[in-house]
Structure 1
Amino acid sequence: MKNQRYGIAMAVKEHLHGGNPITRLEALVLFGVSNLTDVISEMRKEGWTIESRPVPFAAAVKRVNEYAVLEPPKNLPVREIQLTEYWMSK
C-alpha cells in the first residue's frame, strides 16, 4: 500500500512542480488522492514553499473538466462555495 500511496502523491507533486495549482476536488478526481493536505504537509516538511488561497468551487470544476467530466448538481451554489487552492511558490 505504501508504494501505491507514494505513486499517487508523486503525481500531485509533479503536477505542482509543473506550475499547476490544485484543490482537494482536483486531487481526488484527477489523481485519486483523498487527503491532499497530507501531501501538502509532507512537501512543506521537505522544504517546498506551498502557497494557498480560497477559490470558487466553479474554478476547480472548470479545471477538472479539461481532463474529465464533472457536473455539479444544478442547485449547488458553485460560485459561493470556496475551496483551498495550493500552488508551489518559486
Structure 2
Amino acid sequence: MAKSISTGLNMAAKEHLVSGQPLTRLEALVLFGVSNLPELVYEMRKQGWTVNARNVPYAMAMVRINKHAVLKPPANLPVREIQLTEYWVSK
C-alpha cells in the first residue's frame, strides 16, 4: 500500500479516537483499513495522547461496525466470549 494511502487511513482512525469514540482492532480494520491499531496507539502515546484500553466482547464491536458496514461472523463463533481490546482517548 502506498505510504500516502496508509497515512490517510491512520489519520481517519486517529481522528475517530480523538473525537472520543472507542475503537477496537476489528473496527479499525473493517471501517478504516488500519491493520495495526496497536502501532497507531503506540505512536499517539509517544505524541502525548492519553489512550486508554480495556477488554470488550467481540459482540460489542460487531454492533458498532454494523452501524456502518455488514459484519456477520460464523454461527459457531462465540462472539460474547471473545474479548477484543478497545482503545479510547481521554478528554
Percent identity over paired residues: 64
Q: Secondary structure at the match of 1:7?
A: helix
Please list the CA deviations of residues 30-64 of structure 1 after superposition, one character each: whole Å capped at 9, or x if unmatched: 00000001100000000000000000000000000
Give 5+ residue unaligned stretches, structure 1. none
Moved beyond 6 Å, runs of 4+ = none
**Paired letter, 2:54:** R
The reply to whether residue 73 of structure 1 matches residue 78 of structure 2 is: no
Counterpart-to-counterpart distance in 2, 1:68 and 1:5: 20
After superposition, residues 12-51 of structure 1 pair within 5 angstroms as 12-51=13-52
Deviation for aligned residue 1:15: 0.3
C-alpha RMSD of the superposition: 0.6
Give 5+ residue unaligned stretches, structure 2. none
Q: Secondary structure at the match of 1:34?
A: coil
How many corresponding residue pairs? 90
Deviation for aligned residue 1:2: 2.1
The reply to whether residue 2 of structure 1 matches residue 6 of structure 2 is: no
